Amino acid sequence: MQKFLSRCKKQVWKLVASLCFYSPILRWMNRFSNYFQFRKESRFAFPFIKKRQFRNFQILVYHRVNNEYDPFFPAVPTEVFERQMEYLATHFHVCSLENVIEMAKKKDIPDNTVVITFDDGYKDNYWNAFPILKKLSLPATIFLATDCIGSGKVLWHDVVFSAFRETQEPFLVGYGINLKDYPLRTIEEKRFAHGQVLNFLRALEDHERPFWIQRLVEKLKVIGKKDAADLMLNWEEVRIMQQQGISFGSHTVTHPILSRLPADKVREEVLKSKKTIEEQLGVPVRTFAYPSGRKQDFTEITKNILKEAGYDCAVTMVFGTNEYDQDLFELRRGMPWENHLPTFAVKLSWYKLYPN
């Protein structure tokens, strides 16, 4: 019954989104949201709309673009990505992150400004996303975790995704500090367990994580099962994209949770990754994306280290849009990962209205 109701709700929402999309409503909504937004003090405060003080800009975050339909790390299907980019190219002002930072400093940002970013450095960014971006002449920034670029290594969270994807075990028994048991008999049970395990691993100190990941692959009996050597970009692909309008920022070397690291390790991660990309591409690297990127994944110390290292800005995974007065080392991003184009379009406009 619950599934039926949620499916009905989705259909109604799609219908409303389509109605807005195929009529002038969306255009009005967009224009309106450039000047007004909901008050953040309280959802029920009256009047609940206030005049926007400054123009805002949105930063979209993508990870993978492919048609693999991986239930553990959902990607945006290539065709869907293409339709989204065509919509942005027609209705939005798509800017590079570097340009937007300059414009924000001068307090001069055009209406409907959007920045496209990708985290981690997956190979499908080159094979699937880049041809579309190139065709539409859209700039984008890809944040690289440099240890995995051209090395055959994968990020720690990909080891976890792959373990849950590959395992034939019906249960994960006695895992974690609290020795929890998780059933893995259906895809839903696997997804639930994988979410819980990811939260557990993220909360660990950085040096403790490899032990628990090893423990996980042993318990799920997936050691050596998956050859993921071709999951991440190599430097040749990075260089080709750079020559054709894509910029690159740092996402650290090994993708640790920076707030869980001592300051000297954070310094090493942000300096070494910056230096590697600069040596490979011959241009300065001034943009950064926090691994995991939630509010608890970076601190004031992290931000100061980034400033000392010569970065101009850092993007988070904290939801919202950005105004001129937004801390450039806490830039918010949005994830309109909707396969239905009208819903994607309505969400983009809705994000601007929604209080940060």
Contacting positions for Zn ion (CB under 5 A): 119-120, 291
- C-beta of residue 203 within 8 angstroms of C-beta of residue 296: no
CB of 157 to Zn ion, least distance (A): 7
- C-beta of residue 270 within 8 angstroms of C-beta of residue 278: no
Is the CB of 291 or the CB of 336 nearer to Zn ion?
291
Q: Is 39 exposed, middle or buried (0-12, 13-18, 19+ CB in 10 A)?
A: middle
Is the CB of 256 or the CB of 291 nearer to Zn ion?
291
> What whole-number distance in Å separates Cα of residue 37 and Cα of residue 66?
35
Our CA dihedral for 121, 164, 297, 154, rounded to 10 degrees, sits at -30
> What whole-number distance in Å separates Cα of residue 356 and Cα of residue 345?
19
> What whole-number distance in Å separates Cα of residue 209 and Cα of residue 193?
17
Q: Chain centroid to CA 18: how far?
A: 26
CB of 44 to Zn ion, least distance (A): 36
CB of 255 to Zn ion, least distance (A): 6
**Interstrand relation of 56-62 and 322-323 (parallel, antiparallel or unpaired):** antiparallel
Give Dmax (Cα) for the chain.
60
Is the CB of 98 or the CB of 119 nearer to Zn ion?
119
Is the CB of 55 or the CB of 333 nearer to Zn ion?
333
Is the CB of 55 or the CB of 303 nearer to Zn ion?
303
The residue sitting closest to Zn ion, measured at its beta carbon, is: 119
Is the CB of 33 or the CB of 292 nearer to Zn ion?
292
